[in-house]
Amino acid sequence: MATTAAQHAPLAAVAGPTGLWSWITTTDHKRIGILYGVTAFAFFLIGGLEALLLRAQLATPNGRLLDADTYNQMFTMHGTTMVFLAFMPLAAAFFNFVVPLQIGARDVAFPRLNAFSYWVFLFGGLFMNASFLFGAAPDGGWFGYVNLTSKQYSPGLNIDFWVLGLAILGTASLVAAVNFIVTIINMRAPGMRLMRMPVFTWMTLVTQFLVLTAFPVITVGLVFLMFDRFFGTNFYNAVAGGDLLLWQHLFWLFGHPEVYILILPAMGIVSEVLPTFSRKPLFGYAVVVYSGVLIGFMGWGVWAHHMFSVGLGPIADSVFGAATMLIAIPTGVKIFNWIGTMWGGRIDLKTPMLFAIGFVAMFIIGGLSGIMHASPPTDLQQTDTYFVVAHFHYVLFGGGIMGLFAGMYYWWPKAFGRLLDEGLGRWHWILIVIGLNLSFFPMHFIGLLGMPRRVYNYDPELGLGFLNMMSTVGAFIIGASTLVFVYNIWVTAKRARSASANPWNAPTLEWSISSPPPVYNFSVLPEVRSRLPLWREDGLSRIPDVPPEPVHVPGGSYWPIVAAFGQLVIAVGAIARVLPIVLAGVAVLVISIYFWAFEPFEV
């Protein structure tokens, strides 16, 4: 490879190639990160629109906006979209863009595999949403409980789209997990020891191990369901000796780690933003890191708390209840450490900081309501009601999405060379805080007062019209806040690229190079001598503006998108029940992997 790398002229590399083709064939982790971000944000808007439709329907008792079937498709697609198409890939955008920069690498370990992940995600998301065109969007809930999702009770294409779509998306996540684990373990710059890694990179590492171990479990569950639906097997056929609870165990064995797959990256982002804007190092770095690792481990031992109403028996309920409560300890420790970070600092309330503080404040509420249904007896009254909806929206929206927005405002100048507007950013924050509390806080009461989840209508007799209307108004305020964010992007895009290398005066490695970074990231591989290299004198070796010698950066390749397309063709063939199309897809996949493997990977 050294020969091709040597052909690369360093100065030409600063700009990088342009044009659509260069984006389709790109293997640059920064570009893939931006692609992930844009695509995921588009899906986030779609999922948000679905949420607004749901809330509009529930604004009054016996709403007439959506019929039962449409409502069921909407809540299924809202959950599925937000988890798999918006939240995870938004986090992936940060993994891609930030992690190599934070560890002082020139790219991820497998750049073409990285491109493959993105294209598979894009095609999987399009495939899943194409179901709307056939009036057959998935309608079994994001949790897809059997036997409702078996052929007998869901004979349409809806669940086929869901099963195949998730199977495709799982590939993208798994491949990316391998890629990032190898990248973080093997590609750190000299001196970037594990305990010098930024917390975001640490949380990425933990998250990727969770993905690597959790996705095979859901894949097994999905393959069983696929076999039941396509080939008439009886894994989930209770009448033929199958077991309906097998699916629930498999799904939640994946599903609970999945919750941490969603929240840990946001926790990592917050752990970067809080120290930067408090002008103080993270309080108890090692404890925060280990809490994250511990949360990852404990996340595997609590899945049955999603199943207390199933009737697992007193011993199982007690054990899973207690294990769930234990997770509150490392989580609480993190929260205290974040407050400790701010304590005695010099807090600069820039937009990223506002969102990070919002994360902490809202996450506390979500954590506390989580404790309430960690207790199995009280969970029997709360599970499958709006109380749980309130809980996980505080955790995943008030926490997770706020954290991701903090990251967007924080790394936006690094990615695009422009700062987002502070004034609009503050409006975004104020609206989102008001909107989410107005929307999700009443849901606690709606649930406790007896309204189940996933119902398309409710009786006026329940007396919950007013609270539901409040919640709907809040949802639309959240929608408005998102428009402010979009407007912010649009306005600032017209401004000059004036961001300096380190506009926030942040301590970590990604801020040592220009905004946006050159194609090769670091002109020479830096030598790291501190956990906060930019805050310490002599924390980092000097990085020249121009590479002293030619730099090897990965070149473009179209095989990743072709291979990903092969997977899409397989799924299309399967949903159309046409074997030759499936075989053609397999052929495309295998052939493109062959050419990919033997491709001279030039710059």
Partner 1 sequence: MHDDVEGSGLSAVLTWITHAIETLTIGRDFATMCRGWAVQFSSRTLLTTPLLHANGCAMPSFRLTPRHVWARPVMLVVALALSVAGCGPYPQSTLHPRSDLGTELSDLYMQIFWWAVLVFIIVESLLVYAVIRFRARPGQEGEPKQIYGHTALEIAWTVAPAVILVFIAVPSVQSIFRTSQPPPADALEVEVIGHQWWWEFRYPEYNLVTAGEMHIPVGRPVSLVMTSADVIHSFWVPRLAGKRDVILGRTNRLLFTADSAGVYLGQCAEYCGTSHGNMRFRTIVDAPADFDAWVQQQQTAPPPADSLTEIERRGVEAFTSVRTPASNSCIACHAIEGVSFGVLGPNLSHVGGRTTIAGGILPNTTDGLRRWLTDPAGEKPGSLMPNVDLSDAETDGLIAYLQSLR
Residues numbered 528-567 forming contacts with partner 1, rule: CB under 8 A = 530-532, 536
Six-digit token string for 529: 């001598």
Q: Which amino acid is at 596?
A: W
User: In what helix (H) or strand (E) does residue 581 lie, and over which residues does it extend?
Assistant: helix 579-597
Question: Is the C-alpha dihedral spanning 131, 135, 140, 146 positive or negative?
Answer: negative
Residue 68 or 185 having the CB closest to partner 1: 68
Among 322, 579, 583, 590, binds partner 1 (CB under 8 A): 322
Q: Does 194 bind partner 1 (CB under 8 A)?
A: no
Give the contact letters, 281-320, x = binds to partner 1 (CB under 8 A), - = no: x-xxxxx--x------------------xxx-xx--xx--
* 190 near partner 1, judged by CB under 8 A: no
- Cα(192)–Cα(17) distance, integer angstroms: 30
Residues 6 or more apart in contact with residue 472 via CB below 8 angstroms: 55, 56, 58, 59, 439
- Cβ-in-10-Å burial (0-12, 13-18, 19+) of 538 comes to exposed
The interface mask with partner 1, positions 225-254, x = CB under 8 A, is -------------xx---xxx---------
426 binds partner 1 (CB under 8 A): no
For residue 520, give the 3-state DSSP assignment. coil
- Count of residues touching partner 1 (by CB under 8 A): 97
d(CA 471, CA 468): 5
Report 103-162 residues binding partner 1 (CB under 8 A): 141, 145, 147-148, 153-154
Q: Interacting stretch for partner 1, rule CB under 8 A, among 14-22, 249-257, 344-352, 417-425?
A: 344-352
Interface region with partner 1, contact rule CB under 8 A, candidates 114-122, 250-258, 343-351, 496-504: 343-351
Of 24-32, 213-221, 326-334, 491-499, the segment contacting partner 1 by CB under 8 A is 326-334
340 binds partner 1 (CB under 8 A): yes
As a whole number of angstroms, the distance between CA 567 and CA 123 comes to 9
Under the binding rule (CB under 8 A), the answer on residue 67 touching partner 1 is yes
Residues in CB range of 256: below 8 A, 6 or more apart: 299, 300, 302, 303, 305, 306
SS (H, E, C) 61-90: CCCCCCCHHHHHHHHHHHHHHHHHHHHHHH
Residues 429-468 that bind partner 1 (CB under 8 A): 445, 448-459, 461-464
Angle between helices 402-416 and 244-278 (to 10 degrees): 60
Token pair in block for residue 36? 């992930």
Q: Looking at beta carbons only, is 335 or 524 nearer to partner 1? A: 335
Candidate list 49, 223, 300, 384; residue touching partner 1; CB under 8 A:
384
Site residues (CB under 8 A) for partner 1, limited to 345-374: 345-349, 357, 360-361, 364-365, 368-369, 371-372, 374
- For the bound state, the minimum distance from the C-beta of residue 244 to partner 1, rounded and expressed in Å, comes to 6
Per-residue binding string, partner 1, 196-225, x by CB under 8 A, is x-----------------------------
In angstroms, rounded to a whole number, what is the distance separating the alpha carbons of residues 279 and 292?
23
Are the C-beta atoms of 141 and 76 separated by less than 8 Å? yes
